[in-house]
Chains A and B, each alone.
Chain A
Amino acid sequence: MSPLENRLTIMGRLDEIAQVRDFVTATARAIGLSEQAIHHCELAIDETCTNIIEHGYQLDGSAKPIEIICETASDRLVIHIRDQGPAFNPLVRPDPDPTTDLEERSDGGWGIYFTKKVMDDVQYLRDGQFNQLTLSKRFGLQ
């Protein structure tokens, strides 16, 4: 497969996320990921962009971009998500515990938890004024 690089930039509003989901699922489908792996990429990108818009941009991101770059490496689809919110590494937050009883259950943190569960690798980088989260999904795995 020849290397691929697709880019999309949206504004930081919840109603723009559908575009990102369509963009990522079309890319994942074009390179032959399984339907379950495509759903995993869709969930991860949705949760990541929702967190950026709700927390990083505080629901005031109409003029603040989120850039999505999909590229293929030899054995994986790699998705970079770049935003201009305050520096924040979501990976250092403790995971919510899925075995917790209903009453003690945490309301937050599930989005990044799901992202880590469904993707094969998730990395955070602060790059100048950008937060960059890099998600990887390997070919041939669920």
Chain B
Amino acid sequence: MNVNVSKDNKTTLIEVSGRIDSTNANQLGEALMSEINQGNMQLVVDLGSVDYMSSAGLREIVSALKKVRGKGDLRLAQPSERVLEVLEMAGLDTIFQIFPDQSLAISSYS
């Protein structure tokens, strides 16, 4: 798994690629918490290049969403069919705002 963090005006974009599972989900969690601790509360996690995510990955994004809710948001972009199925099983497709592409997720904050 790779995590790349960049800024687009007031929004922080976290692009993830590869597989998110119990061996590496904490790296994603650390990247999210690092941004939140710096006061960056408008987050977009782009899952377009993630081909697999287990409950370990969900735990990290849910935990980050709990931290930012009320102050900002964590929005998801372009989850694959597989990742979306996992989000749906956990009922997270109604909790997260999910966008079909990165630019729509970023512009949703303006």
Contact = CB atoms under 8 A, between A and B. Distances in A.
Interface residues of B, number: 22
B86 A103 contact: no
Q: Is the interface of B mostly helix, strand, loop or mixed?
A: helix
Interface in B47-70: 52, 54-56, 58-59, 62-63, 65-66, 69
B90 A98 contact: yes
B21 A117 contact: no
Contact of B55 (A39, A47, A105): A47
Contact of A107 (B21, B52, B59, B89): B59
Contacts, number: 58
A53 B52 CA distance: 20
Contacts of A110: 55, 58-59, 90
B62 A102 contact: yes
Contact of A114 (B22, B86, B95): B86
B89 A111 contact: no
Given A102-B62, A105-B62, A114-B55, A54 B22 contact: yes
Interface in A112-126: 113-114, 117-118
Interface residues of A, number: 27
B33 to A, nearest CB: 15
Nearest to A42: B52
A20 to B, nearest CB: 11
User: Which residue of A99, A103, A105, A117 has the most chain B CB atoms within 10 A of its CB atom?
Assistant: A105
A118 B54 CA distance: 12
B37 interface: no
A14 interface: yes
Nearest to A96: B90
Given A17-B23, A46-B54, A50-B54, A98 B69 contact: no
8 contacts: A17-B23, A46-B54, A50-B21, A103-B66, A105-B62, A107-B62, A110-B55, A114-B89
Interface of A: 14-15, 17-18, 39, 42-43, 46-47, 50, 53-54, 97-103, 105, 107, 110-111, 113-114, 117-118
